[in-house]
Structure 1
Amino acid sequence: MNWELLSCGLRGHETYAPAESDLAARLHVSTPAGESWRCLRCGTFVPGDPRRSGPADHAPEVPRGRLLRDLVIMRLLAAERFIRGLFLLAAGIVIIGLRSSQQSLRDKFDAEMPLLRPLADQIGWNIDDSKMVQWIERSFTLSSTTIVLIGIAVIVYAASQFVEAGGLWFMQRWGEYFAVIVTSLFLPIEIYELTERVTVVRIALLAVNIAAVVWLIWSKRLFGVRGGGAAYHAEHHSESLLTVERAAVTE
């Protein structure tokens, strides 16, 4: 998979005309189709005027290679957080909506339980000791105020997922810190859930979150790791000029 060509196909080529004549000469050719400029991302000569121009050190940072792979990973994490936020938002709205219908739901639940017992016996499910059934029964005893507070807490958590998704999608430094802090806060809860019941989904979610925290801290140099913010900004400050130089010398 050529991620550079794929990205150019989706977003368009990133051509740049540097003010430095030596670099400009190496990024520019004349063809029968007209003047062409080399894409800073994939290295292909693209007919037409450059998309941008200016000093080489002001060139846009165009992710390629490792940086492009980092961008893809960040976008995948952002998408996962956004989808999770949608589910949490829907759950919070449903929970708040239950505050005025507890009695009717309890009546329906009590009416359906005798019908579920024969099926549960057939599949070997001890319905009386089921934690899910016990949780549902306990929920009927909660006050309307408690239900609303639980719903609001779930919605706030959903909002944090949306904020995290936005920060990761646009590769913001604060978003990376926010993602690590919020994800780390909920790791003990996910580990505790595994002590109650081990499922493939719970293991997968825990593995994804641990991997995300470790990867973000290491690759983004968070909390002073690998030189911290100074090394991170120095690396990215020089990236635009290096992008131009790499594109200029691409064979």
Structure 2
Amino acid sequence: MWTWLRRAWDRVRHPRWHAETLVCSRRGHILPAASVAALGPEHAGVGVDLPDGRRFARCLRCDCWLDVPRPLEPSSETLPPLSQIILPRRGEELREAIVLRIIAFDRIIHVALFGALFVLALELRLNIGPLHDVARRFLDALNAVAANSTQGASHGFLVTELQRIVDLREGALDVLIGTSLAYTVLELVEAIGLWHERRWAEYLTVVATAGLLPFEILELSRRVTVFRVGALVINLLIVVWLVYRKRLFGVAGGRAALAHERPDPEVVLAPPVASAGVSSGA
């Protein structure tokens, strides 16, 4: 069991897929070296001009080197110093952004479910009188059939469900309507905030999700189902991941630690050692 968990954790930390390649395949490469007139030796980590006239430019996101034509109308004479080049999100920062989008999508699913529950409860509330009348007529008919035959046991499920409808009260529906509407709005706010990577949305998601965990555990103690176990595990993972990776509530250095995790462009885009040696020898 522990071996499987360690392997799963290693796959999460060191995935076989590359988020940078995935994003570049959808949004395109970021090639600042492709749009300038000339490249100096100090920019050899971003792009190089070969003696035969070809130019190779490095994508700042996925580190892919591409053979690009020299621009007919360059945007500038050369690139700015490496320290002034703004790196796109990459590495752990990019993967975290993707995970936040996945959590936001999970919230959207919750919005759809709670919204459907709200509409159903509202429809029942508006038609509670006629619904009670229909349920009573069916219930009386089934009871009459059961009294005059030996098939009473076969109608047990229908009788139970119809009795629940008859016993349904307006107050219970009002509570259900209010609760489902509140959670629909809450989950929608969470989804929008997480999609736009707002820190307040991360806090809101942790507090709201953690608040539901005791009720999920209580429901699980009454009856174990695959759906309930899966929902509990997913919500636990969301809470733990947000608190630990996003440094919420001061964990692991808090928000200040996130700022120090930004990569340094002078380190990431530094010229290769071989290029630096050739340039100094020249």
Q: TM-score interval w.r.t. the shorter chain?
A: 0.7 to 0.9
Matched, 1:246 2:268: yes
Q: Within 1, Cα distance between the matches of 2:108 and 2:214? A: 22
Q: Within 2, Cα distance between the matches of 1:214 and 1:43? A: 31
Matched, 1:183 2:205: no
Out of 26, 35, 44, the residue aligned to residue 45 of structure 2 is 26
Percent identical among aligned pairs is: 31
Normalised TM-score (structure 2): 0.69
CA contact (8 A) 1:27 1:247 kept: yes
CA contact (8 A) 2:125 2:174 kept: yes
Q: Residue type of the partner of 2:181?
A: I
Q: Within 2, Cα distance between the matches of 1:9 and 1:161? A: 30
Q: Residue type of the partner of 1:246?
A: V
Residue of structure 1 equivalent to 2:60: 40
Matched, 1:107 2:133: yes
How many residues of Structure 1 are paired with residues of Structure 2 in the alignment? Answer: 239
Unaligned runs of 5+ in 2: 1-16, 274-282
CA contact (8 A) 2:248 2:254 kept: yes
Normalised TM-score (structure 1): 0.76
Residue of structure 2 equivalent to 1:195: 221
Q: CA deviation at 1:16?
A: 3.7
Matched, 1:142 2:144: no
Residue by residue, what CA displacement relative to the aligned partner does 1:180-211 show, whole Å, maximum 9, x if unpaired?
11111111111121122221111110110011
CA contact (8 A) 1:92 1:155 kept: yes
Matched, 1:170 2:196: yes
Q: Within 2, Cα distance between the matches of 1:119 and 1:249? A: 85
Residue of structure 2 equivalent to 1:221: 247
Q: Within 2, Cα distance between the matches of 1:119 and 1:208? A: 44
CA contact (8 A) 1:39 1:247 kept: no
Larger Rg: 2
Q: Residue type of the partner of 2:47?
A: H
Residue by residue, what CA displacement relative to the aligned partner does 1:55-103 show, whole Å, maximum 9, x if unpaired?
6455445333333332222221111111111221122122122222112
Q: Within 2, Cα distance between the matches of 1:212 and 1:230? A: 22
Q: CA deviation at 1:229?
A: 1.5
Q: Residue type of the partner of 1:245?
A: V
| Equivalent runs, 1:45-194 vs 2, <5 Å | 45-46=65-66, 47=68, 56-57=82-83, 59-111=85-137, 114=142, 127=157, 136-138=165-167, 140-143=168-171, 147-194=173-220
Matched, 1:6 2:18: no
Residue of structure 1 equivalent to 2:231: 205
Q: Within 2, Cα distance between the matches of 1:39 and 1:54? A: 16
Unaligned runs of 5+ in 1: none
Residue of structure 2 equivalent to 1:15: 31
Q: CA deviation at 1:157?
A: 0.9
Q: CA deviation at 1:233?
A: 2.5
Q: Residue type of the partner of 1:83?
A: I
Distance change >3 Å, CA 43–CA 155, structure 1 → 2: same
